[in-house]
């Protein structure tokens, strides 16, 4: 058996957070969260079985991992390296307010990924490096499920495809989707 990793983006968060930067903040799922969790679990069960189950530790990912674990008997492993980017003092603030304060400087996330960071947050390459460290530790054989976030998925897929950081945003999958990598 070769290795297959399924990267699952959590379901949508509450509508009250539209336009809000929430990164590593632990925020609730949308009102239809339980239904969306069940839809994701059904897709995963149809593609199983699996050898490993990870999630970021944030409740929006834990909901999916715990529901899958309840149906498979697998023990979910929390790995904080799968968390979304830390946006520091921007967390839980409106993106419009952040842009009004920082202007186009916030584009440093993609134009200076090795050095630019939100105040008290992490650089794009710090995000990439922690996700890559998780990926590098995965066994050579098995079917691995990781319930995670858009940023970690985009950074891992972009890195694996040798794409420039400016293209990584195109790799952010829709909420609830499953991205398979070898």
pLDDT digits (tens), the chain, 182 positions: 699 999 999 999 999 999 999 999 999 999 999 999 999 999 999 998 999 999 999 999 999 999 999 999 999 999 999 999 999 999 999 999 999 999 888 899 999 999 999 999 999 999 999 999 999 999 999 999 999 999 999 999 999 999 999 999 999 999 999 999 98
Residue 4 covered by a domain: no
Residue 159: domain span: 9-181
Residue 2 covered by a domain: no
Would the pTM count as exceeding 0.85?
A: yes
Task: Look up the CATH number of the domain holding residue 64.
Answer: 3.40.50.1240
Residue 130 covered by a domain: yes
Number of folded domains in the chain?
A: 1
Q: Scanning the structure block, which residue is given the tokens 């950074």?
A: 155
Alpha-carbon distance 121 to 141, whole Å?
Answer: 34
Residue 3 covered by a domain: no
* Residue 81 DSSP symbol: G
Q: Do residues 61 and 33 make contact, with C-beta atoms less than 8 angstroms apart?
A: no
Residue 56 covered by a domain: yes
Residue 1 covered by a domain: no
For the residues of 120-175, what is the DSSP string, one character each? TS--HHHHHHHHHHHHHTS-SSEEEEEEE-HHHHHHHHHHHTT--GGGGGGG-PPT
Count other Cβ atoms within 10 Å, centred on residue 103: 9
């Amino acid at each position: 058996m070769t290795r297959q990793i399924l990267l699952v983006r959590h379901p949508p968060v509450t509508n009250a957070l539209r336009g809000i930067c929430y990164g590593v903040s632990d925020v609730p799922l949308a009102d239809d969260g339980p239904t969306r969790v069940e839809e994701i679990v059904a897709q995963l069960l149809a593609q199983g079985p699996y050898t490993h189950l990870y999630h970021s530790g944030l409740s929006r990912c834990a909901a999916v991992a715990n529901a899958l674990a309840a149906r498979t008997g697998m023990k979910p492993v929390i790995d904080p390296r799968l968390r979304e980017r830390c946006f520091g003092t921007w967390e839980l603030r409106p993106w419009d307010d952040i842009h009004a304060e920082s202007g186009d400087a916030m584009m440093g996330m993609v134009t200076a990924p090795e050095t630019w960071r939100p105040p008290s947050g992490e650089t794009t390459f710090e995000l990439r490096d922690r996700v890559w460290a998780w990926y590098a530790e995965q066994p050579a054989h098995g079917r691995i499920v990781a319930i995670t976030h858009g940023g970690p998925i985009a950074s891992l897929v972009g890195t694996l495809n040798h794409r420039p950081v400016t293209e990584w945003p195109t790799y952010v999958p829709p909420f609830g989707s499953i991205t398979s990598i070898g």
